[in-house]
Structure 1
Amino acid sequence: MFGADILKIRKRFAPLLFAFFMALTMSFFMSMVLTAINIGFVENFVALWLRAFSVAFVVAFPLAMIVAPIIRRLVQRLTEDRLY
């Protein structure tokens, strides 16, 4: 029987994995929505959407790697822990 530990990735890759899945998810749904808005649900919608998705992901993944640390620092500056 296989344990869950076999599929685990080292913690040091967590930022890369986070950016990958965030970019994958966002580019998947955003490309679908924008393709539907721009051309509607035409006969070859899926092919056009998957092409848009592939382009969007290629842009989104490196962008997420660059922007994520900046956004993290911004959020840290805008938030604080308060003891009530």
Structure 2
Amino acid sequence: MIPARYAYFVFGFVLSGLMSMMVSGIATYRTVGMIDGFVTLWLGNWLPSWMVAYPTLLVVSPIARRLVAKLTRLDA
């Protein structure tokens, strides 16, 4: 098992993987349609997207948390 102190990184890894998979799948489908070899093409587009998405998530997520904290309030 992975120690809990790495939960932020594991969460980001899983989230970025799932999100980039979905987005690249939709973009690939909209570009070429359901062709023979679609899955291979999709995976070929997804992996580079994930390599960008994961470090981006690690950098942007603290900024997004601060912005959300400023835009919301605790209800009493």
TM-score by length of 2: 0.93
Partner of 2:18: 25
Larger Rg: 1
Greater than 2 Å deviation, 4+ residue runs: none
Q: Which of the numbers 61, 79, 83 marks the counterpart of 2:54?
A: 61
TM-score by length of 1: 0.85
Gaps of 5+ in 1: 1-6
Deviations 1:4-60 (A, max 9, x none): xxx3x3222121111111100101111111100000011110110000010110010
* Matched residue count: 76
Partner of 2:36: 43
Supply the distance in 1 between the matched residues of 2:4 and 2:72 (Cα, whole angstroms). Answer: 25
